[in-house]
Chain A
Amino acid sequence: MPVRGEKDWQWLLDRLNADLGAAKQVNVIVVLAFTDDPRYQYALEKEWVGGKKNDLIVLIGTTRYPKISWVRIVSWSTAEDLKVVLRDDIQAIGTLDRRDDIMGAVRKEVQGRFERRHMRDLKYLAASHQPGGRALGIILFLECVTVLATAFASANLRGDYCGGCGHYRSYHRYY
């Protein structure tokens, strides 16, 4: 379905991300879904694995363009207030023709409420991570090679054994 003013949408979105991207460490994405089923959100979350860590996905559903049927906000951010308030704000705007108002609402709420998720909050997920069998085998092999090489190198540092005088060559006295 064609979207009126597609270039204007893109321009507004680019401006928004240019202004807030660095300041709030956010990447706003607007998705227009031509369906009246809000469960589209779950399909998108599954497909995009909830989006990237700093993404804020504004999902707008419509079947009779430009009337907005439903709105959902998807983000890994813990700012639940942003998700609820922004959803209600866009829903209240009601029509996709008012794109300046919609993007204005996004800008206002993101500026005021967005909090990016920190990696340290998700670090606990690495606790049970372990290298695979092949990686463990390679590590073990490299360890053994290192030990053997070091041991042989140490043994040979003293030079070759001289059977004639019972000394190592480095200690050998040449007369």
Chain B
Amino acid sequence: MSKTAITVLTIVGIIVGIAVLLATSLAFGYVNFGNEANRSENGIVAAWTNNKNVYDNGWKTVMEKAQVPKEYIGQMKDVYDGVMKGRYGPNGSQALLQFIKEQNPTIDASVYRDIQQAVEIFHNQFAQAQTELVSRKQEYQNLLTGTMHGRFYNLVAHYPHIDLSKYDIVTSTKTE
């Protein structure tokens, strides 16, 4: 084999090597990006479900502790809804406690304190769950639109594969 042929083969070898390395990097990068995007979407759905879970747990706990007559449960649910969604402002739990006191005037002071704490605990848990949902959505949007690899791979992958608007936090009418 002539010296020229060897040189040509070497150059071709280098080009093929770079191409193979590049293709492998791209393939692994694409798989990694897909995994990350899928994990993010699953995390958003889970965080949204957790929001509902916290809301329901809070309602059940407060309802059990409050011992409000059955006919007032519907009204109490409306007030609870307002407290959780921040309709009554930062001291909104007072509105619910006021309602419970009106419907159950003989309520014991220790039970009253217990309810007060439960309302605040679930309000805080709900706020935290909502914050996490917002944070997860922001991170996912950043992955898709705020990173070089995200924008590049998403030309082919076309994420998001879920309707992100379905997984919004609940807001009070006061803030909208």
List residues of A whose CB falls within 8 A of some B CB. 78, 80-81, 83-85, 88, 124-125, 127-128, 130, 136, 143-144, 147-148, 150-152, 154-155, 161, 163, 166
Contact = CB atoms under 8 A, between A and B. Distances in A.
Given A155-B10, A155-B13, A85 B117 contact: yes
Nearest to B19: A147
Contacts of A163: 3
Interface of B: 1, 3, 6, 9-10, 13-14, 17-18, 21, 25, 36, 39-40, 43, 113, 117, 120-122, 124-125, 128, 135-136, 139-140, 142-143, 146-150
Contacts, number: 67
A130 B13 contact: no
29 contacts: A78-B125, A78-B128, A80-B121, A81-B121, A83-B124, A84-B117, A84-B124, A124-B40, A124-B135, A124-B136, A125-B135, A125-B139, A127-B39, A127-B40, A128-B139, A128-B140, A128-B143, A128-B147, A130-B147, A130-B149, A147-B14, A147-B18, A150-B17, A151-B10, A151-B13, A151-B14, A155-B13, A161-B6, A166-B1
B102 to A, nearest CB: 23
